[in-house]
């Protein structure tokens, strides 16, 4: 990715996230209030994720899960008992992702790029694979689109964590490396349309 492409990408992120927050702030507030009523916890969920250059940041989402005793994995399946009823709606419609517009505006994330993972994945990359850490993680991207039914796929596995670690994660790394090496702002816009449509 050239310096000009990086500038293009960041300028696009700043402008679109600003207007996104300007027009959608009310939906984020209503969703957060309903999530609070639904779960009894803060309507905003914050979690430490690995960002550009391996720096940690707090990703912000609408809370869609509640604590369940004995369930503490970071891998979520479609059958996860922690997902609340209204939380399933947030996740299906991607409304839970809207607060990440703030992450994009602040420069922690981009609209398109590798999804920001919890520590233990991206920060453990080696060799050429560490190229993934050279850009901001994204709300969506080619890997996210390919695995849009990831929770359903994991729900069908006997050991979801192992399947994620040995099958899905390596494939995501491969897809995201290709994305970085063949970057295009027009493709970014296409990935955004594929995500919302």
Taking only the tens place, the pLDDT of each residue in 169-195 is: 999 999 999 999 999 999 999 999 999
Report the C-alpha gap between 83 and 156 in whole angstroms. Answer: 17
Taking only the tens place, the pLDDT of each residue in 98-110 is: 999 999 999 999 9
**Residue 62 in tokens:** 């609408």
Q: Quick one: three-class SS letters along the chain?
A: CCHHHHHHHHHHHHHHHHHHHHHHHHHHHHHHHHHHHHHCCCCEEEEEEECHHHCEEEEEEECCECCECCECCCCCCCCCCCECHHHHHHHHHCHHHCCHHHHHHHCCCEEECCCCCCCCCHHHCCHHHHHHHHCCCEEECHHHHHCCCHHHHHHCCCCHHHHHHHHHHHHHHHHHHHHHHCCCHHHHHHHHHHHHC
Residue 37 in this model has a pLDDT that exceeds 90: yes
Residue 72 in this model has a pLDDT that exceeds 80: no
**Residue 189 in tokens:** 């816009």
pTM of the predicted structure, to 2 decimals: 0.91
Residue 111 in this model has a pLDDT that exceeds 90: yes
pLDDT recorded at residue 197: 81
Q: Quick check: 102 and 139 in contact, CB under 8 A?
A: no
Please report which confidence band the pLDDT of residue 71 belongs to, taking 50, 70 and 90 as the band edges: confident
Please report which confidence band the pLDDT of residue 68 belongs to, taking 50, 70 and 90 as the band edges: confident
pLDDT recorded at residue 76: 84
Domain boundaries, the chain: 3-196
pLDDT recorded at residue 146: 95
Please report which confidence band the pLDDT of residue 79 belongs to, taking 50, 70 and 90 as the band edges: confident
**Residue 74 in tokens:** 């970071």
CB under 8 Å to 103, separation ≥6 — which residues? 57, 59, 60, 109
List the one residue out of 64, 90, 72, 78 whose CA is nearest residue 150.
78
Residue 73 in this model has a pLDDT that exceeds 80: no
| Overall average pLDDT of the 24-32 stretch | 98
Taking only the tens place, the pLDDT of each residue in 124-158 is: 889 999 999 999 999 999 999 999 999 899 989 99
Give the mean pLDDT of the chain: 94
Q: How far is CA 11 from the centre of its chain?
A: 20
């Amino acid at each position: 990715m050239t310096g000009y492409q990086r500038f293009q990408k960041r300028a696009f992120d700043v402008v679109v996230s600003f207007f996104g927050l300007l027009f959608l702030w009310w939906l984020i507030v209503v969703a957060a209030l309903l999530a609070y009523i639904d779960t009894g916890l803060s309507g905003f969920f914050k979690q430490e994720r690995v960002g550009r250059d391996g720096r940690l940041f707090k990703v912000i989402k609408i809370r869609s899960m509640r604590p369940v005793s004995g369930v503490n994995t970071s891998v979520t399946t479609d059958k996860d008992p922690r997902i609340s009823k209204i939380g399933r709606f947030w996740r299906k419609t991607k409304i839970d992702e809207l607060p990440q517009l703030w992450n994009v505006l602040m420069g922690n994330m981009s609209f398109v790029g590798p999804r920001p993972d919890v520590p233990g994945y991206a920060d453990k990359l080696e060799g050429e694979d560490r190229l993934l850490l050279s850009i901001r993680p994204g709300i969506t991207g080619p890997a996210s689109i390919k695995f849009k039914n990831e929770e359903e796929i994991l729900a069908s596995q006997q050991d979801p964590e192992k399947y994620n670690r040995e099958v899905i994660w390596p494939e995501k790394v491969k897809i995201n490396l290709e994305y970085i090496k063949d970057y295009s702002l027009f493709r970014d816009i296409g990935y955004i349309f594929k995500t919302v449509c």
